[in-house]
Amino acid sequence: MGNRPTLKTIGQLAGLSHVAVSKALRDAPDISDATKERVRKIAREVGYTPNVAARNLYLQRTSTIGMIVPAMGSNTAYDLLFNEVSQAAAARGFCVMLGSSHRSLDLEERHCRMMVGNQVGALLVASCTSEISHIKAACGPTPAIFVGGKTAPEEPYALLCDYRSSGVLAVEHLTGLGHRDIALLTYEPFNRTIQQKEEGFSQAMEARGLRPRILRTGNAANTLGAGGAAVEQLLAQGPLPTALWCASDYLAVGVLNALRLHGISVPGDVSVMGHDDLYFDLFPDLDLTTLRTPMAELGKAAVELAVALMESGSPDQSRQVFRPSLVVRGSTGPVRRSPL
């Protein structure tokens, strides 16, 4: 059958009106069980699938959630977040319309306007920067739920990551191994996520009477390169710190590569740790100590909030904070040397 089968197609084969077919497929009480079974059998045979868009239009509802992220790919946390959101949405009978802004504010805004025009019920936005006025203007009455660490905590719909606590965990772990000369490596653009990591790190170091060293190099668009550049700058400045905490796992991978090229062993000469825990259980040779962002919990909570806003407009909880957890592997160890 060349065309997509419809309710009328099934009705013609079953000798029923399309209204009766619709009722049978919806298990209406005024249709006999025998008729329901016959209609379902024909529907399976012709490969009928419901026209969700038409049904939603009739019911004046939508089953689509929009999601906009700065970038996609296995080298970002957003790939993992989308997988979790997509799975949680499907479990609730919703699909997800995804847009990547490629870290462009203009494209981020256009994605918002296009998705609102396509009548998504809510938008999950991991914004490019901490400036979100253009997103809120583009979304209008469609609820925008901000996900991650870049958004100010006073936003009414926000699922925030407490990256300040990341700094505390990193310093606790490294000082517990005897490290006192520790550097935090970050990158541009500066945003609330980077700010929180730097503040948490600085406060935790100063609380222990230690001098915080922070080096910001490169860009989020190429964190592997930023990691290599950071190592070169540190070597040019003098002795390397005994421990390096990197603001992302891929920054840490760039650091590990650069250290290896210079013949510097990890963790023998320098301990290295990252942030996010992106797929590194699949690459045991890297053995990277890191801080795990609870993506599964974050994705599920984002969908629950979106559905609550779409169905009732008054969610039980509109703002949640998620904290990272320490994952210890082999790239960190006790101090074994004087600074290089």
Query: Cβ of 99: how many Cβ atoms within 10 Å?
Result: 19
Mean pLDDT score, 256-260: 95
Asked if 185 and 212 touch (Cβ cutoff 8 Å), the reply is no
CA separation for the pair 293, 327 (Å, rounded): 10
What does residue 68 show for φ and ψ, rounded to 5 degrees? -125, 130
Asked if 96 and 89 touch (Cβ cutoff 8 Å), the reply is yes
SS3 of residue 236 by DSSP: helix
Mean pLDDT of the chain: 86
Q: Which has more pLDDT, 53 or 234?
A: 234
pLDDT digits (tens, 9 = 90+) for 80-134: 888 889 998 888 888 899 988 888 889 999 999 999 888 888 999 988 887 888 9
CA separation for the pair 65, 86 (Å, rounded): 9
**Helix 18-25 to helix 7-14 angle, to the nearest 10 degrees?**
100
37: which 2 tokens?
């079974």
pLDDT digits (tens, 9 = 90+) for 276-316: 887 665 567 889 999 998 888 888 988 988 888 887 766 55
What does residue 319 show for φ and ψ, rounded to 5 degrees? -140, 125
pLDDT at 3: 67
Asked if 286 and 331 touch (Cβ cutoff 8 Å), the reply is yes
- Identify the DSSP state of 240: P
pLDDT at 55: 52
